[in-house]
Amino acid sequence: MDKNVICIKWGTKFGAEYVNNLYRMVEKNLSIPHRFVCFTDKPEGLAKGIEVRDLPPFNEKKIPDKAWRKLSLFNEQLSDLHGTALFLDLDIVIKDDLTPFFEKEGDFIIIKDWDFPKDIIGNSSVFRFEIGKYPYVLENFYKEDNTIRDRYKNEQAFLSHQIYDKGLLQYWDKSWCISFKRGCLQPFPLNFFKEPIDPPNAKIIVFHGRPTPEQALAGFAGKGGFRYVKPTKWLNKYYVKETV
């Protein structure tokens, strides 16, 4: 079965360098045959080797906020792609071999969200699905009215419940995908004196919100100092930065 690594970039929040860095990290850590595809409305500056496709069709009028566009990946036809897709957010750092993400058995696999330990919600920074198998996700989203945010905090909560209701929701092994903020950053006040922890068994480090990988590398001062991050030098071993 075809194996695809996909990402999506729209608007101006992330520049081409984020896609290029992700592409280089994937090529460094995935040796099995695969395609790397970026769905975007701004293809300028993307590295050679990246397959560029238009953003999948999406009803713009149904967007509670821009992040919900991820649901467009569940169109019954996803450009010319077939088989299995491993979706990766642009603001992650890949530490280790990605092959297990394709080998793990299951229909739909996602990160168990760190902020909702007692809920079913997944974090959609890293998830795997069979292309064209879940069109009902998008169809059910279109049926919703503007009160959808009263029931679902964000797109990943809606997605998780849609898959869960079909009995198909599964999670990655807990050690595979680590939140930088939850699993690497030293607790206050040690964060002022100690570099963040490099989790030994992690395959991917997820930078949801702030700091970004670049901010963590340089050091970052969040509001009130509680999110202060000393320069995280060990990221240089994994983060394949674009050179000009």
Residue 226 has pLDDT above 70, yes or no: no
pTM of the full predicted structure?
0.94
Percent of the chain with pLDDT over 70: 93
Query: Tokens at residue 193, please?
Result: 């004196």
Query: Given CA atoms 179, 150, 66, 81 in this order, what sign does their dihedral have?
Result: positive
pLDDT, mean of residues 78-88: 97
pLDDT, mean of residues 198-216: 93
CA gap 86, 74 in Å, rounded: 13
Which CATH class, in words, describes the domain spanning 3-171? alpha beta
pLDDT at 135: 96
Residue in 184, 160, 178 with CA at minimum distance from that of residue 74: 160
Query: Tokens at residue 10, please?
Result: 């729209």
Domain ranges of the chain: 3-171, 177-237
181: helix, strand or coil: helix
pLDDT at 210: 87
pLDDT, mean of residues 39-45: 95
| pLDDT band, very low/low/confident/very high, at 104 (cuts 50, 70, 90) | very high
pLDDT at 225: 60
Residue 243 has pLDDT above 60, yes or no: no
CB 22 within 8 A of CB 9: no
Residue 192 has pLDDT above 80, yes or no: yes
| pLDDT band, very low/low/confident/very high, at 244 (cuts 50, 70, 90) | very low
pLDDT at 241: 67
Q: Which of 95-99, 161-165, 175-179, 189-193 has the lowest mean pLDDT?
A: 189-193
> 165-177 burial string, b = 16+ CB within 10 Å, else e?
eeebbbbbeeebb
